[in-house]
Chain A
Amino acid sequence: QVKLVQSGIEVKEPGASVKISCKASGYTFISYDMHWLRQAPGQTLEWMGRIKVGSGITKYSQQIQERFSITSDTSATTVYMELSSLRSEDTAVYYCARISADSNGYWGHWGQGTLVTVSS
């Protein structure tokens, strides 16, 4: 079955960078885009960006594109997101997500989430 397993909790100081991984298994890795979303405490979900894993083509939210990047390692079936120049408002749970094959383009597969806390 499809599994997305993310790396663990991160605590960073303002101005630092964070890199989170999402290990995929149970499907043909290059056949699906991988998305990253985040959820600040008590807030709704916010889409951050996606990578076409097969080609490496990325698309980012305009709100964070200057500080955000997504990469993938097809040999490791792992996608990475990196957020730089961290601010307190970047404190959130970060999720990788993939659409379901049988639900017409909606995010039916999610990682477990990675909590990133930005604090001095």
Chain B
Amino acid sequence: ETGVTQTPRHLVMGMTNKKSLKCEQHLGHNAMYWYKQSAKKPLELMFVYNFKEQTENNSVPSRFSPECPNSSHLFLHLHTLQPEDSALYLCASSQRPGGPYEQFFGPGTRLTVL
């Protein structure tokens, strides 16, 4: 596959469940991002990783736990979520974080918390 891929594409979970979202980029980039897109709101940056190191945590609740084992893979571990966490979660990558570098997005995971 090419570009940025995300699995699963859809996820329904209860508030007591533990699940993980996966993102993989095949672009040789060094920076990866998690964004949250809720209805009627602009995309919100959650986390930024550069060369596997977290460089940004945008005041995200601890029930969201990111993991970046290498520059190509990014996970978002979910536990004890709330219904208001239901949203589209988008992963992106770029050659470097910020600056003039274009970000490329995956198709997203549609998360529903019951």
Partners in one complex: no
Give me the interface of B with A, judged by CB distance under 8 Å. Answer: none
